[in-house]
Amino acid sequence: MNLLIQDFNLNFISGGFVVSIYWMAVFVVMGSYKKLYLVSRLDEFMKVLKASLLGALILYFIININETISIGDQRMIIITYWATIFVLLAMNRFVVRTIQKYYAQRGKGLHRAVIIGTGQTAKAAYEDLNRNRTLGMQVLGFIQVNGKVVDPVHGVDEDDIIGSLTDIKQIMEEHKVQDILVALEPDRRQDLVEVISKIDTPDVSLKLLPDFYQLVSGLSKTNQIFGLPLVEISPEPMPLWEKTIKRMLDIIVSLVVLVVALPILLAIGIAVRLTSKGPAIYKQRRVGRNGRVFTIYKYRTMLDNAEKHSGPTWAKKDDPRVTKLGYWLRKLRIDEVPQLINVLKGDMSLVGPRPERPHFVEQFSKQIPLYTRRLRVRPGITGWAQVKWKYDTSLDDVKEKTKFDLFYIENASLRMDAKILINTIITIIKGKGQ
């Protein structure tokens, strides 16, 4: 009897552990643990409904494997189990969001926020936020743009200005800012690019207050809470479940290619060594996601120490530094294959903006608006800019490719990744590489 009880306890604990991990995985994939602040209780209800339905549906197919249970019993078990999970989780989330709202209305637990702008629009936004605490923001002060003189009649009080746009990074660090609301006057719309360029921190949420033209023309997707329309600039539109699948595909494809093609890859490496002096694999420092520097791997296609005297320079058409074998490796994009090791390590993805060297990142960040937003996502072996534009040979080329990269970042999806990979394969087959 004691052995039976011990076995039951062990099975109960281990089973409970497995089920808990399973449901946590389901809710992670569905984005239920994202940093959502003061989300609507109705929205929370729908999130729980979708996640619990997905989790129960998967379990239904799993228990169908057991033929000792009739189909009717299987349905009854899974419906009862789903209803229990859904009701308990919905009640839990409802209570948590209600408590959050209760404290927010009393000015507690609010996100620390600043407003960029000092005009009438900024003042009106502040009054709305102060009047409706459930928006979840505690405004610490206002940020002045381009040293514009404050309008003492319609604008904010000069005492409420805590700094200028040039000091925004220091202000964010000192005040531990969590949200930034851009509320510029219609005649200052040209400052918007500079504002977004200055604020490029993943941990800080950037929201725009759109003007009337944007709202009526449908150019902006807004979320409206208590009459305050906000456009949130999202650096990663790809939902968590898509990002999870994307990472899994990165790992699987990289492993399969490296293992299956290993003899060919070794032969190419030997050929590189035999046809020119220097190592087969070329290593170079590149800037990855969130500015983290990593070492990238490529087959060497240029003469050894090609930039020893010139320093970092762009590759150009008919570049004399490229070896004869290197020309064909570039033409067929084979020189990029060793970067699958970077993909396995998590430094890169199959698809994403191409990683650039620190020297050029520093240079382009000063010359190209919004360039650093490319660093919001994991860089890739191939990308939208690579299939739509040629190799970089000038600053103008970099500017054009940056437009494509920013478009990819704002529209990233598994479908778009598949489109890019197909276009890359077509490019390789046609030999359009450089």
Q: pLDDT digit string (tens) for 94-134?
A: 888 888 777 777 767 778 889 888 888 888 888 888 777 76
Question: What is the biggest distance separating any 2 CA atoms in the chain, rounded to whole angstroms?
Answer: 85
Q: What is the rounded distance in angstroms from the CA atom of residue 172 to the CA atom of residue 179?
A: 9
Specify the 3-state DSSP secondary structure of 303.
coil
AA letter at 65: I
Contact 305, 277 (CB under 8 A): no
Q: What is the rounded distance in angstroms from the CA atom of residue 82 to the CA atom of residue 120?
A: 51
Class of residue 302 by CB neighbours under 10 A (exposed 0-12, middle 13-18, buried 19+): buried
List all residues 6 or more positions away from 384 whose beta carbon is below 8 Å from its beta carbon: 404, 405, 407, 408, 416, 420
Task: State how beta strands 111-116 and 179-182 pair.
Answer: parallel
Domains along the chain?
2-105 (no CATH), 111-233 (3.40.50.720), 240-430 (no CATH)
Per-residue pLDDT, 250:
95
Spell 139-157 as b/e; 16+ CB within 10 A means b.
bbbbbbbeebebeeeebbe
175-221: pLDDT as tens digits? 888 888 888 877 776 677 777 777 777 678 888 776 644 544 444 44
Q: What is the rounded distance in angstroms from the CA atom of residue 420 to the CA atom of residue 411?
A: 13
List all residues 6 or more positions away from 31 whose beta carbon is below 8 Å from its beta carbon: 47, 239, 240, 241
Chain Cα centroid distance, residue 267: 37
Tens digits of pLDDT across the chain (434 residues): 444 444 445 565 676 777 788 888 888 777 776 655 566 677 778 888 888 888 888 887 776 665 566 777 777 888 888 888 888 888 888 888 888 777 777 767 778 889 888 888 888 888 888 777 766 788 888 988 876 555 555 677 777 888 888 888 888 888 888 888 888 877 776 677 777 777 777 678 888 776 644 544 444 445 544 445 566 665 566 777 788 889 999 999 999 999 999 999 999 999 999 998 889 999 999 999 988 999 999 999 888 776 665 566 666 666 778 888 988 888 888 889 999 999 999 999 999 999 999 988 888 888 887 888 888 889 999 998 888 876 666 778 888 888 888 888 878 888 899 999 988 888 777 766 55
- pTM over 0.75? The answer is no
Task: State how beta strands 137-144 and 111-116 pair.
Answer: parallel
If we measure between CA atoms, which residue out of 58, 56, 54, 34 comes closest to residue 44? 34
